[in-house]
Structure 1
Amino acid sequence: MKRMLCFVLFVLMLLLVACGPSEKEVIEQLDVQARIGFNQSPTEPNQELLPFAIYLPEGYKVESDDETNVVFRQTDQLYLLFHNPFENQQSATYFEALEDLEDTLFLQAYEGDDYFGYVYLRSLESDYELQVGIGGTRITTQTGLDQIEVEVTQLITILTSILFEDTETTD
């Protein structure tokens, strides 16, 4: 009986692993989702924070904010937003710093007329670090492989919605 139960559990585990997306498939879709996201019209902000107005999807709650940092959460998912007021929307400073890292799974730049955006992904012990940035503003979170596509779409939507209170400095 125990052997049968172990065999059934083993088969179920194989099915679950086989049904999930591979890292390679997720990375390919990550680029597609990012291109779509960066080319969409910005969403209207629905939250007023200290340095800017921002759109946060339903279920996202701000835990703390100041002039350069915002911490927000959706259920058990934590997000860290960092804004450098000395970098404008066309700044590539954060992207260039990430280019030097060796454990990168994905790093791609996306440029428009008025922004420089990027998406960065690296593997951690049990999940992935995802960072999306536009100029001097970036959001970082940790997520599972099966949630990366959803997360990148949400993070780009949030970043592209930001309206700054005053004019930023240029590089």
Structure 2
Amino acid sequence: MKKWLFLTISALLLFGLSGCGKSVEEQINMGVASSQTVFEESPKEANKKMGQIELYLPSGYKIQDTDDVNNYVLTKGKDKYILFVNVNEKEDSKLHYELLKKNMSKAIVKEQPLELDGIFGFTMVLEHGENQFELVASSGGVKVSTISNDRKIDNKLEEMMRIARSVEVIH
């Protein structure tokens, strides 16, 4: 009898705690705020080199080999990210931002343009389907994007901006 009581109480506690997670809106707001903070910080020192770029990859991220000098695939667990580097765009480039703003096929859930010392960047969250979002973090000619479910959006946006800000083109 004590065993069943313990299991029942444990199950109720687990069920109750699982509902205490952040809402999607909270995750998006926190992620956008965190990515702004990261944008305003000094970029992390590069710990990876791939083709003609050097960049910082947070723990758990891997970069896949590619022949494309503009597009790289990053993975972390089951999540895939596209890192696009336009070597011809300067740090003040608004190209990625303007292209996404003109694309009316996806609704913008939240956007945050950012400027600091002649560098333009932004964070954007777009609807991608039921309980799915396209997350974008960009700095100059660098854009990191992924499709995400409604979990860990805040952490992903922060890490994506950290990666975007760290990319340096080697000439």
Q: 1:38 and 2:39 equivalent?
A: yes
- 3-state SS of paired residue (1:94): helix
Q: 1:76 and 2:68 equivalent?
A: no
Equivalent residue letter for 2:121: G
In the other structure, the counterpart of 1:151 is 156
Q: TM-score, normalised by structure 2?
A: 0.81
Contact 2:35 2:161 in 1 (8 A): yes
Q: What is the deviation of 1:28?
A: 2.3
Q: What is the deviation of 1:33?
A: 0.8
Inter-partner Cα distance in structure 1 for 2:137 and 2:169: 18
Equivalent residue letter for 1:32: A
Q: Deviations over 1:23-52 (max 9, x none)?
A: 332232133212211111211101111121
Of 19-28 and 35-44, deviating more is 19-28
- 3-state SS of paired residue (2:151): helix
Q: Deviations over 1:73-131 (max 9, x none)?
A: 11211011111222111100111122233511011101111311011111222421101
Inter-partner Cα distance in structure 2 for 1:119 and 1:83: 16
In the other structure, the counterpart of 2:118 is 114
Equivalent residue letter for 1:86: N
**1:24-103 alignment to 2 at 5 Å?**
24-65=25-66, 66-100=68-102, 101=104, 102-103=106-107
Stretches of structure 2 that go unaligned for 5 or more consecutive residues are 1-11
Inter-partner Cα distance in structure 1 for 2:47 and 2:98: 31
Contact 2:43 2:165 in 1 (8 A): yes
Contact 1:52 1:165 in 2 (8 A): yes
Inter-partner Cα distance in structure 1 for 2:13 and 2:134: 28
- 3-state SS of paired residue (1:25): helix
Q: Percent identity?
A: 27
Give the CA RMSD over aligned residues.
Answer: 2.1
Name the count of aligned residue pairs. Answer: 156
Equivalent residue letter for 1:142: I
Contact 1:128 1:144 in 2 (8 A): yes
Q: What is the deviation of 1:60?
A: 1.2
Describe the shift of the 1:18–1:75 C-alpha distance in structure 2 as closer, same or farther (beyond 3 A): closer
Stretches of structure 1 that go unaligned for 5 or more consecutive residues are 1-10, 167-171
Contact 1:99 1:107 in 2 (8 A): no
Inter-partner Cα distance in structure 2 for 1:74 and 1:16: 26
Q: What is the deviation of 1:18?
A: 4.1
